[in-house]
């Protein structure tokens, strides 16, 4: 498969990309998130999105407004589109449990790709702000980001878009994000990440910096 169109001119991904998207506020987030999902629905891709700073229903309504020739209710009913809150995914047990979330992706994306139900998948997940108040939550999330690269190796017909609001987490988090993502989306540009550490080296080197203390 060739480049995956983000839906915004000049922003293209490659199958298997694990992308770190950094932005400031939900308005900037939606400038890339909504086109990413809309173009996926138009292409017939499986689209799964976890949001934290807005209600899932708000994101669905925003998607509806920009779709042409696609019935979003049909996409939801068929399971092609899922928009879920972070409480029901990342923090479903009241804390962040890495293996639970990895199992979630395997069930909801990996199995559909492995069985051929979908030829391609697009996933986006917004880091939950509540992790700052969970003991060990940030470290666990960075370890999880590292292991997601093993998931994309097993199921390369997808793009994972991990979303970080720098208004909430500050620029210091970038130090922890660079080893775990092959590409970066920053300031409207998709960039190759020279600091990416492919697995299996990531798990040993991923750390949470002092910014979250």
Q: Higher model confidence: residue 8 or residue 49?
A: 49
Edge-to-edge strands of the sheet including 81-85? 81-85, 46-51, 121-126, 158-165, 18-23, 183-186, 189-192
Task: Give yes or no for residue 116 having a pLDDT over 70.
Answer: yes
Q: Is the pLDDT of residue 2 over 80?
A: no
What's the pLDDT band for 207 if we cut at 50, 70, 90?
Answer: very low
**Confidence (pLDDT) at 13:** 86
pLDDT digits (tens, 9 = 90+) for 168-194: 988 888 888 999 999 999 888 888 999
Q: Computed from CA positions of residues 182, 184, 185, 190, in that sequence, does the dihedral angle turn out positive or negative?
A: negative
**Cα distance between residue 207 and residue 204, in whole Å:** 8
Among 65-69, 147-151, 193-197, 200-204, whose mean pLDDT is lowest? 200-204
Residue 11: C-alpha distances to residues 45, 102, 140, 156, 157 (Å): 18, 27, 30, 19, 18
Domains and CATH numbers, the chain: 12-208 (3.40.50.300)
Residue 134 has pLDDT above 70, yes or no: yes
Neighbours of 177 (CB within 10 A): 20
Residues in the chain: 213
What does the alpha-carbon distance between residue 40 and residue 36 come to, in Å, rounded to a whole number? 6
Q: Percent of the chain beyond pLDDT 90?
A: 62
Note if the pTM is more than 0.95. no
pLDDT band at 208 (very low <50, low <70, confident <90, very high): very low
| Crossing angle for the helix pair 56-65 and 25-43, to the nearest 10 degrees | 60
| Residue 182 and residue 17 in contact, taking contact as beta carbons nearer than 8 Å | yes
């Amino acid at each position: 498969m060739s480049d995956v169109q983000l839906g915004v001119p000049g922003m293209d991904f490659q199958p298997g990309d694990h992308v770190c998207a950094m932005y400031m506020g939900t308005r900037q987030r939606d400038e890339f998130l909504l086109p990413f999902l809309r173009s996926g629905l138009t292409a017939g891709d499986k689209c799964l999105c976890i949001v934290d700073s807005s209600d899932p229903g708000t994101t669905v309504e925003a998607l509806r407004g920009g779709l042409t020739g696609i019935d979003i209710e049909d996409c939801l009913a068929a399971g092609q589109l899922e928009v879920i809150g972070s409480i029901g995914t990342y923090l479903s047990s009241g804390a962040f449990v890495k293996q639970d979330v990895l199992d979630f992706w395997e069930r909801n994306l990996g199995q559909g790709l492995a069985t051929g139900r979908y030829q391609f998948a697009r996933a986006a997940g917004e880091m939950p702000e509540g992790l700052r108040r969970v003991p060990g939550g940030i470290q666990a999330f960075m370890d999880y980001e590292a292991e997601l690269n093993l998931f994309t190796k097993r199921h390369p017909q997808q793009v994972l878009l991990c979303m970080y609001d720098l208004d909430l987490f500050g620029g210091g988090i970038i130090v922890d994000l660079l080893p775990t993502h092959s590409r970066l989306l920053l300031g409207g540009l998709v960039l190759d990440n020279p600091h990416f550490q492919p697995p299996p080296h990531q798990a040993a080197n991923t750390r949470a910096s002092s910014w979250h203390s």
